[in-house]
Amino acid sequence: MDATTHPPVPVNEPNLTYAPGSPERAALLAEVHALESARTELPACIGGRQVEGHGHKHPVVQPHDRHHVLGVFRNATVDDASAAVAAAQAAAPGWRDLSYDDRAAILLRAADLLAGPWRQRLNAATMLGQSKTAFQAEIDAACELIDFWRFNVHFGRQILAEQPIANSPGIWNRTDHRPLEGFVYAITPFNFTAIAGNLPTAPALMGNTVIWKPSPTQQLAASLTMELLEEAGLPPGVINMLPGDGIDVSKVALPHPDLAGIHFTGSTPTFQHLWRTVGENIASYRSYPRIVGETGGKDFVVAHPSADPDVVRVALLRGAFEYQGQKCSAASRAYVARSVWQAMGEQLVVDVDELSMGDPTDLSHFLGAVIDARAFARLKDVIDRAHGAPHLQVVAGGTYDDSDGWFIRPTVVLADDPTDEMFRTEYFGPVLVVHVFDDGEFDAVVEQLESFAPYALTGAVIARDRQAVARATRELRFAAGNFYVNDKPTGAVVGQQPFGGGRASGTNDKAGAADNLRRWTSPRSLKETLVPPTDHGYPHMRPE
């Protein structure tokens, strides 16, 4: 209940450009060379100790150079998970008793370390391990994670400052924003180093201790993030990191009586599995676990006849193909008015086919490889089906090659039928399906796309006609948790466009916002009576 101080006002971390000749470019490439030539051990971190773990060994490779091993971890076992839960339980009293400011100072220091000496190390790890270009790594591993840590400190403090607005005479009311009773289980995806860093630290800031299970394919950057947090002063046992597939960790964590919450980002099926398992164990918990999950999307762009064709073209190029379409927010279905398509479709196809793809540490490329063999196989099947289906027309890309890395050419598919499965299934890769509609059909198209896919994560309308913008904004109100006007549907910025979606896309608890941090607190109402009554009677009982 300490909310009297004023931490620094957060400001979004500016993106560095990595232009030729810039000092950041030289520093980044030096880190890339250092990391790619070191074969790193990636241990678990339990109770502040580096633990090799007991499970089978698993290599972390470069997706664009799949035979190049960056590091090795051991899959966490049931014993590792039990030790991590015990460490989290042991650290909990000391951590929750530390003042909010003391906890916040650790994250502010982590943010400053990342903005300074750690920046290029984490960017380089994200480029090598997750196949991000310099710009995509910078907006993720550096800027977004710095923003999460700085803005969360601000939002957490706002929550502590929320106090009752009324006190009857002689009464003092207060709210004690307690952490949850038990540990939080944070499970993170491969695609954003920032999300991986945010999911364990947000509950920790609010006084909880955490078991963190990163994605196997993001383990290099995850291990460095853990190291950075320790350098910032995170005490042992507050966050316990367990590498691997999470199967054994879940065997221990999910039915545990002290499971107080799950902080998840990843696919919809994984989230539904976690939720179902909690449901099956519901009678065994000390408290009802908080379940927070941000999951998949089938994100749309709808272009009205009044749209600027160049705006549509660039929004699709960037929105669909940056980071190989592996953003949950990526445009994967587009609905374009015929007159607009006639003005920009041909150029879009030329531009897509010219996008340069390769090893992202060669900074001339626009995109790298998809994350692993599983993603490659899934996307290959999607492209093969599109080639074989008479009602689909592959107009750009449509090829793949995994001889060196898992490369999928950015692909555009035209579909007359907007009820094809391509408009509702998340493929999570550089595949965009486009439906071209007659200019007079805008309203009908908006109505059809509103609920054709089960997701509701991001979407965009592109139009110069204000009536069309207003109509789409109103009619698509529940179709996206992040809605963009005359922009691509990716690239939400912490503190500016709080991120998350509804329907099958998650619980919409908005990462990097007060909404999210509130889920990691359990408020206690305190009433103090200053001069308590000493007589049980009421005035109406007195004799007349």
Ligand X SMILES: NC(=O)c1ccc[n+]([C@@H]2O[C@H](COP(=O)([O-])OP(=O)(O)OC[C@H]3O[C@@H](n4cnc5c(N)ncnc54)[C@H](O)[C@@H]3O)[C@@H](O)[C@H]2O)c1
For this structure, is 328 an active site residue? Answer: yes
Q: How far is CA 289 from the centre of its chain?
A: 21
Nearest residue (CB) to ligand A1AUG, 306 versus 324: 324
How many angstroms separate the CA atoms of 162 and 330, rounded?
36
Near ligand A1AUG by CB under 6 A: residue from 73, 118, 151, 192: 192
What, of ligand X, ligand A1AUG, none, does residue 492 touch, CB below 5 to 8 Å by kind? Answer: ligand A1AUG
The answer to whether the CB of 439 falls within 8 A of the CB of 302 is no
Q: Which of 489, 492, 486 minimizes the C-alpha distance to 12?
A: 492
Nearest distance from residue 210's CB to ligand X, in Å?
14
Nearest distance from residue 252's CB to ligand X, in Å?
10
Of 294, 322, 426, 450, the catalytic one is: 294
By CB under 6 A, residue 352 contacts ligand A1AUG: no
Single out the segment in contact with ligand A1AUG by CB under 6 A; choices: 4-12, 270-278, 326-334, 527-535: 326-334
Cα end-to-end span (Å), the chain: 48
Nearest residue (CB) to ligand A1AUG, 191 versus 306: 191
Beta-ladder partners of 481: none
For this structure, is 426 an active site residue? Answer: no
Window 421 to 480, contacts with ligand X (CB under 6 A)? 426, 428, 457
**18: helix, strand or coil:** coil
Near ligand A1AUG by CB under 6 A: residue from 225, 490, 521, 522: 490
- Amino acid letter at 275? W
By CB under 6 A, residue 183 contacts ligand A1AUG: no
Which residue in the block uniquely carries the two structure tokens 């749309």?
300
Nearest distance from residue 191's CB to ligand A1AUG, in Å?
5
How many angstroms separate the CA atoms of 138 and 246, rounded?
28
Single out the segment in contact with ligand A1AUG by CB under 6 A; choices: 60-68, 166-174, 438-446, 491-499: 491-499
By CB under 6 A, residue 191 contacts ligand X: yes
By CB under 6 A, residue 215 contacts ligand A1AUG: no
What, of ligand X, ligand A1AUG, none, does residue 266 touch, CB below 5 to 8 Å by kind? Answer: ligand X
Nearest distance from residue 2's CB to ligand X, in Å?
31
Q: Give every CB contact of residue 212 below 8 A, 6+ residues apart in sequence.
A: 186, 188, 199, 200, 222, 226, 239, 240, 241, 242
- Which ranges in 415-531 belong to alpha helices (H)? 442-452, 466-475, 514-518
Q: Which of 10, 9, 82 minimizes the C-alpha distance to 47?
A: 82
Q: Which of 157, 53, 65 minimizes the C-alpha distance to 361?
A: 65
Residue 167 backbone zone (phi > 0: left; psi -120 to 50: alpha; other: beta): beta
Nearest distance from residue 308's CB to ligand A1AUG, in Å?
22
What, of ligand X, ligand A1AUG, none, does residue 108 touch, CB below 5 to 8 Å by kind? Answer: none
By CB under 6 A, residue 333 contacts ligand X: no
**483: helix, strand or coil:** strand
Nearest distance from residue 328's CB to ligand X, in Å?
3
- Amino acid letter at 327? K
Of 144, 322, 328, 426, the catalytic one is: 328
Q: Catalytic residues, which ones?
A: 294, 328
